[in-house]
Amino acid sequence: APGVQADMVVLAIGVAPDSQLARAAGLELGAKGSIAVNERMQTSQMDIYAVGDAVQIRHLVSGQETLVSLAGPANKQGRVAADNICGLDSVYRGAQGSSVIKLFDMAAAATGLNERAARAAGLAYEKIVLSPASHASYYPGGKVMTMKVLYEKGTLRLLGAQIVGFDGVDKRIDVLATAMQAGMSAVALKDLDLAYAPPFSSAKDPVNMAGFMAENIEKGLVKQFHYEDVAALPRDGSVTLLDARTPQEYAKGNVEGFVNIPVDELRARLGELEAGKPVYVMCQSGLRSYIACRILAQNGFECYNFSGGYRFYQSIRDHRFVENVRTSCGQESEH
């Protein structure tokens, strides 16, 4: 077969448990040939212990048996196994799969369940998408990150989070991972007292903002719609599709069917919106559209806020290309 010329090749094929020795020894195996262990890292032969990428463990969020091939959990399992071998009573609670990766100058991180895993676990969830700055927008050098936080409907239990950005990604995922371990609700994130100075964060940290957004949803202050809902929205005039950004932002790119009324002009132009029709509102990041929704709700309109804003919509629509959001905070992209 002819070769493929490339500057770089990424083999993102995952890993599989190397459990041939365990199989040959007659040990009980789990999912994908992994080694079944109990909370003390004992196999089905109680005098044989197993730890690391080849063992099946309990997922802390879903409660299901799973594989988590990460160095952190493997090292903790090793400590538990050593304790028990030496006569100490030690148990391994499981893992939530907190991870981070550096991709050139970008970073991507996750903890807990993503949407696909939450659905597979049969969990009813709400999701929050936001695009905060890595630190105060008036301090030079800040970059935009995109965060998604999942929580369980009803209980408000945190289920997982994913973040993509340039600066401060690891910090926020670690805070969210800790909140999950502590059993905090999504709304409780708003009360976290986190370190602040303009070079490092904002007075309302991105994690706090996720908590505020969850509270707004749970108190009924706003209803959401998501990326997967946009294509199915009627374009027949039965609903109003509203873009609350500035005319300059709207001219650089918009969603088909959305009309532009800047949020600062909305009160004066309410007469342009037909009463009785649901209004679906979008802005650049979700903040101005939230304000627009509150204005509309107070004037009797049924309204929905787009989760994540046009920036998020564009990054998915354009083949998940997000480099165009890498601008100094408060400045418009030239792309």
What DSSP assignment string belongs to 249-281? HHHH---TT-EE--GGGTGGGGGGSPTTS-EEE
C-alpha to C-alpha distance for 127 and 146, rounded to whole angstroms: 13
Q: How confident is the model at residue 318 (pLDDT cuts 50, 70, 90)?
A: confident
The residue-averaged pLDDT of 203-219 equals 97
Percent of the chain with pLDDT over 90: 89
Token readout for 182 is 């502590």
pLDDT at 4: 86
Would the pLDDT of 121 be above 70? yes
Provide the pLDDT for residue 12.
84
Domains of the chain: 1-95 (3.50.50.60), 99-218 (3.50.50.60), 224-325 (3.40.250.10)
Residues 211 and 189 sit within 8 Å (Cβ to Cβ) = yes
Written as one letter, the residue type at 42 is: Q
pLDDT attached to residue 335: 35
| Better pLDDT: 313 or 334 | 313
How far are the Cα atoms of 72, 98, 99 from residue 174, in angstroms, in the given order?
13, 8, 9
pLDDT of residue 321: 55
Least confident of 95-104, 198-207, 253-262, 323-332: 323-332
Query: pLDDT tens across 30-39, in order?
Result: 999 999 999 9
What's the order of all strands across the beta sheet hosting 224-225? 224-225, 303-306, 279-282, 240-243, 259-260
Q: Give the pLDDT of residue 322.
A: 53
**pLDDT at 327 > cutoff 60:** no
Phi-psi region of 250 (alpha: psi -120 to 50; beta: other; left: phi over 0): alpha
